[in-house]
Structure 1
């Protein structure tokens, strides 16, 4: 019974985030300070799916990967954010973000057991695109440190949610858990294709 309540609460929280999915990269609205930086990663379906898949991927790998993979993403994303704020161009940012959802979704769906260093390299590559998008969309009047702290903390929380989802799925049962993880990864990859093609 407790498991059903936990799942229901998680779905309700996810549903609450979805109505703002279309606002992540429109440049509409006043964005400044910690709260706006915090809101940016959770205001787009692409960011949410990628961050959660990073967390689930880290959970699948286990051990040191549980903290090294998400930490790598957050740190490299900060570098990407600096590039965006500085106006240094990174090609194909939106494509890279959409591809991150596809690739990470496929990695989770296939249950890829990559070496930790390879996993860190993969998520680090995609973190550049996500960070650049956050930095480039920060308006001139925003407090850069507060804004950056906001989007880094929100990202870390989404990673933690992904790890939590992995743990929750793992508790469902040893027989059904892997199938649920693979289905979630597959669904994320399909959504990534939708983002890549402009359908979503």
Structure 2
């Protein structure tokens, strides 16, 4: 668990280095990888939802500890492909905001969802997030590079959530996670009611 915390800290320290290499990456991949990588980090709704997936996985424990962070990016890719393919999907932005509310509430309640239910919830929201990413794909970007970028960033955010979830083993750790889940849910509600187009 200590190793996870160290890795998460290292990732957060290295993230700013992605910006200076952006020009080189854009030449190599049509702007796809860097833009895809930065997209989840630039929107509060995407960032909070992906961290929340990791935290909820930590709350639920194995095997969902790893299944949730794998399911979300897989369904994101399918959602992105649907958007790139021109499939019409209504209410994507409110759905993305709702994901922050629902996942935060699941953490706050320490919802011990059955594996199938947890996978359906996370998969559904992963599809919506992926659709939002795909719909915002820059015209000059390489779709595969863009997808690789946002999947990698999502994995790092899930890992950060898992690392945060390790506080559960500390004294009052459950209370800390419940409070954090409540704060995430409140942010999701604010996004849903006050900022419907945040993604």
Q: Same fold (TM over 0.5)?
A: yes
Report deviation, 1:132: 0.5
The 1-side partners of 2:47 and 2:64 are apart by: 20
User: What are structure 1's unaligned runs of at least 5 residues?
Assistant: 18-30
Aligned to 2:42: 43
The 1-side partners of 2:139 and 2:184 are apart by: 34
- The one-character-per-residue Cα deviations of 1:69-111 (angstroms, maximum 9, x if unpaired) are 1111110111000011112111100000000000000000000
Is the CA contact (8 Å cut-off) linking 1:32 and 1:138 kept in structure 2?
no
Aligned to 2:173: 177
Q: Secondary structure at the match of 1:40?
A: helix
Where in structure 2 are the equivalents of 1:2-21 lying within 5 Å?
Answer: 13=12
Report deviation, 1:148: 0.3
Q: Secondary structure at the match of 2:37?
A: helix
- The one-character-per-residue Cα deviations of 1:129-160 (angstroms, maximum 9, x if unpaired) are 10001001002211110010000010011001
Aligned to 1:113: 112
- The one-character-per-residue Cα deviations of 1:39-80 (angstroms, maximum 9, x if unpaired) are 000101001110011001100111111111111111011100
How many pairs were matched up?
A: 176
- The one-character-per-residue Cα deviations of 1:154-175 (angstroms, maximum 9, x if unpaired) are 00110010000001x12432xx
User: What are structure 2's unaligned runs of at least 5 residues?
Assistant: 17-29
The 1-side partners of 2:116 and 2:68 are apart by: 9
Aligned to 2:121: 122
The 1-side partners of 2:78 and 2:123 are apart by: 10
Aligned to 2:157: 158
Q: Secondary structure at the match of 1:149?
A: helix
Aligned to 2:53: 54
The 1-side partners of 2:113 and 2:168 are apart by: 19
Aligned to 2:187: 191
Aligned to 2:19: none
RMSD in angstroms over aligned alpha carbons?
Answer: 2.2
Between 1 and 2, higher relative CO (CA 8 Å, sep ≥ 6) is seen in 2
TM-score (norm. length: structure 2): 0.82
TM-score (norm. length: structure 1): 0.82
Q: Which runs of 4+ in 1 moved over 4 A?
A: none
